[in-house]
Structure 1
Amino acid sequence: MTQTTGQDVIRLFEEWAPQTLAVEGDRVGLMVGTLEQPVKRIMTALDVTEEVIDEAINEEVDLILAHHPLLFRPLKVIDTHTTQGRIIQKALFHNITIYAAHTNLDIAEGGVNDMLADALSLQHTRVLAPTVETPLVKLVVFVPTTHAEAVRKAIGDAGAGHIGEYSHCSYSLEGTGTFKPSEASNPFIGTVGEQEYVEEQRIETIVTESRISAVIKAMLDAHPYEEAAYDLYPLKQQGKSYGLGRIGELQETITLDALAEKVKQAFEVSTLRMIGDRNKRIKTVAVLGGDGNKYVQKAMHAGADVLITGDIYYHTAIDAIEDGFVLLDPGHNIEKIMKMGTVQHMRERIAKAGYDEVTIFESNVNTDPYQYK
């Protein structure tokens, strides 16, 4: 039986949160170790601290899926007398691979910002700050009519043919395929050295660039021919828009004070910073994990009544009050929601892939650096 490697797991993960979604300059991907080794135990973590590494060692973890990059700036030296050096040393000594998914996981559909929006039960959510529109590619594949439906289903299940709220969209034309098998071939249909004519269908569908590898693999697995004939055409129209933050509607209008209590409960924080009129009526909510200082004006212009984010600066708060806007700052650490959210998402993908020997669970270490009195 073939063992599941880190590369197998990361391939599944990046079908959800590809590195191409990350903000330019963000350090995402492999941090320490190798993705080529077998993986049985995976742990999700918000930060990779020495306590988290010790937990991973005790839990015999093979791969840590972290949100915040361990190596955000280039290292000039690995000094094992420093905390970062010890983390790297321990990870390598115990064969623990560290992989970081930062802004790509923030931006991904179903990623950190969607997890935050879902925790608040926001409705009709949309992207707050678009960062990228995914390029589209047209896949054209020629399939014998007897197997056309199987191939059509396989590529649809792999993510091809998404147009708006519709999936498995495709178009077919019937025709005749011709070929002559060589002496080295092992044809599914036809005879070596003889011209063959087969009733085939030309199936056309749209694929996002990030899904091409998965869709092609599914197509080849379902296709009966030894050598499948297919084409890929880049398209000028853009696909789905991705970005940071989400904006949506509460089920009912409430005060900022009431929303603050809801936020504390949803994100499991004991306290938060409230900026602006606590009696302001709130219906439209913007939420953005991490440091959201740059997005206050974006939230105001998008029609939000409030922005929920972390690390608000003093002068950003002053400016918001002057503008009549309100903010809630429950801290950067609310991104810890990604630990269980990633576990739940990846468990489904791992099970579907048949990686029965792989276990994924969340770190129990609280890495919030702040204490409150």
Structure 2
Amino acid sequence: MLARGETIAQLMERLAPKHFAVEGDKIGLQVGSLRKEIKRVLVTLDVNPGVVKEAVDLGAELIVAHHPIIYRPLAHLQTDTPAGALAAELIRRDIAVYVSHTNLDTAEGGLNDWMAEALGLEGRDVLEEVHTDKLYKLAVFVPRAHAESVRDAMFRAGGGWIGNYSHCSFNVDGVGTFMPREGSDPYIGENGMLATAEETRIEIIVPESARKAVVQAMLKAHPYEEVAYDLYGVDLKGRSFGLGRVGKLQAAMPLDDFAELVKDRLGMPFVRVVGEGARQVRKVAVLGGSGRSYIKRAMFMGADVLVTGDIDFHSAQDAEAGGLAIVDPGHYAEKIMRPKTAQWLRERLAEKGYATEVFASEVHTDPFRLK
């Protein structure tokens, strides 16, 4: 059984929910259609002619990319321009392109966590908050005999977390009344007769990111034809999600040694370094992509060094003046998302019994080279 494109997009949105994206970011389906069965998926950092050829050679019907293929507004789609020719080739080959960009950066277990894990950072915090999960209270009335199974279904779907405590709920027993009307198929009672049922009111906290899944799980586990439940927002702050991570190395080390570690762990041919090579660093901020806008934030978080790409001359001077070291492995260090995303997607598809294959791109798309 092959997964349809819509199913793969849903799985990607489970890893990187769309509402985690920075406002205005270009994410989601950008070229083609997801309304088809997908035999092979190609995961890539960028989409260029080499990647499209790779997809054609693999027989992939879907490309999952990190960087948007359409980022700046297109005034036209002329096939004698690079952008137009690339889009035309994708359409001609019936290859769809789906993008997870800053939502994958922000997601827990996404790109910035992968980079932090590669560098061995412990006790990680978010560098710059982008999204705070809104919290909801879900209250549902369940026959007492089914209370445990409905609670468990909601817990498995992500409900019932308060801080580091899971399986949190409040339960009150009472008596419910109802009268099944014509056309109903009641689990308890008879049509046209007032009925009573011993029920449990179950209350749990549900984060916005799991709201849909928890409600669906509750409805599926509930025995009633029509389920009585309330779902309303509460004025409490949920978990924070954001760009970048801040954590600590197991032990302090000289900056130059740390730079070598970054180069090795992220698989880059070189890094640029700001700061004295002998200075000791332990608290590390890491942000995939272009991070010059987060230098002050890294300082505020008390980082000794910031690992990020695309640092310009004057930003480097500002960091140096502020006492923040920088290791710049380049924007292409984000290539770590190719095998990581492919593996995650491969595992989720296998869990659901799909035979769709997932490949990590092997095409080098870094435009820079050393001379």
Stretch deviating more after TM superposition (206-215 or 343-352): 343-352
CA shift in 2, pair 1:178/1:361, >3 Å: farther
Change in CA separation of 1:355 and 1:33 when aligned onto 2, cut-off 3 Å: farther
Secondary structure of residue in 1 paired with 2:150: helix
Q: 1:35 to 1:112 in 2, by over 3 A?
A: same
Work out whether 1:201 is the aligned partner of 2:203: no
Give the partner amino acid of 1:283.
R
**Which aligned segments of 4 or more residues in structure 1 are displaced greater than 6 angstroms?**
none
Q: Separation in 1 of the partners of 2:241 and 2:247?
A: 15
For the aligned residue pairs, the C-alpha RMSD in angstroms reads 1.5
Secondary structure of the corresponding residue to residue 65 of structure 1: strand
CA contact (8 A) 2:299 2:322 kept: no
Question: Aligned to 1:365, what secondary structure does the other structure show?
Answer: coil
**Number of residue pairs the alignment of both structures matches:** 371
1:176 aligns with 2:175: yes
Say if 1:182 and 1:192, in contact at 8 Å, map to a contact too. Answer: yes
Paired residue secondary structure (2:37)? coil
- The corresponding residue for 2:283 is 284
CA contact (8 A) 2:12 2:100 kept: no
Q: 2:144 aligned with 1:145, yes or no?
A: yes
- Structure 2 match to 1:260: 259
Match in the other structure for 2:349: 350
Query: Per-residue deviation at 1:321?
Result: 2.1
Aligned to 2:159: 160
5 Å-filtered alignment, 1:126-141, equals 126-141=125-140
Q: 1:279-317 CA deviation, whole Å, 9 max, x = no partner? A: 110110110000000111111121100000000001111
1:54 equivalent to 2:53? Answer: yes
Which stretches in structure 1 are left out of the alignment for 5+ residues? Answer: none
Inter-partner Cα distance in structure 2 for 1:350 and 1:356: 5
Task: Judge which range, 125-134 or 9-18, deviates more.
Answer: 9-18
Show the counterpart of 1:78: 77
Residues 156 and 258 (structure 1), Cα distance of their counterparts in 2 relative to 1, 3 Å cut: same
Distance 1:154 1:179, change over 3 A: same
Could you tell me how far apart the structure 2 residues matched to 1:301 and 1:103 are? 22
Shift of 1:355: 4.0
- CA distance in 1 between partners of 2:179 and 2:15 (Å): 41
Distance 2:362 2:187 in 1: 53
Could you list the runs of 5+ residues in structure 2 that have no partner in the other structure? none
Identity %: 47
Cα displacement string for residues 152-173 of structure 1 (whole angstroms, at most 9, x for unaligned residues) = 1111111111222222322211
Task: Report the Cα offset of residue 90 of structure 1.
Answer: 2.0
- In the TM superposition, residue 102 of structure 1 has moved relative to its aligned partner by 0.8
Partner of 1:309: 308
- Equivalent position amino acid for 1:240 in 2: R
Q: Give the counterpart letter for 1:173 in structure 2.
A: V
Distance across 2 between alignment mates of 1:168 and 1:356: 31
For each residue in 1:215-269, what CA deviation from the matched residue of structure 2 results, as whole angstroms up to 9, or x when unmatched? 1111111111122111111111121111111010001110011101111111001
Partner in structure 2 of residue 15 of structure 1: 14
Deviates further, 342-351 or 287-296: 342-351
Offset of residue 325 of structure 1: 2.2
**CA distance, structure 2, for counterparts of residue 86 and residue 190 of structure 1:** 66
Whole-Å Cα distance in 2 between the matches of residues 253 and 188 of structure 1? 64
1:125-179 CA distance string (max 9 Å, x none) = 0001112211111111111112211111111111111222222322211112222
Contact 2:3 2:354 in 1 (8 A): no
Letter in 2 for 1:231: D
- Secondary structure of 1:34's counterpart equals coil
How far apart, CA to CA, are the structure 1 residues paired with 2:220 and 2:356? 23
Structure 1 residues 117-128: aligned runs within 5 Å: 117-128=116-127
Mapped partners of 2:217, 2:91: distance in 1: 35
Provide the residue aligned with 1:99 in structure 2.
Answer: 98
Letter in 2 for 1:159: G
Amino acid at match of 1:160: G
Aligned partner of residue 177 in structure 2, secondary structure: strand
Q: 1:359 to 1:229 in 2, by over 3 A?
A: farther
Does the CA contact (< 8 Å) of 2:48 and 2:86 recur in 1? yes
Contact 1:66 1:98 in 2 (8 A): yes
Segment of structure 1 superposing worse, 192-201 or 259-268: 192-201
Q: Distance in 2 between matches of 1:95 and 1:182?
A: 51
Q: Is the 8 A contact 1:50 1:86 kept in 2?
A: no
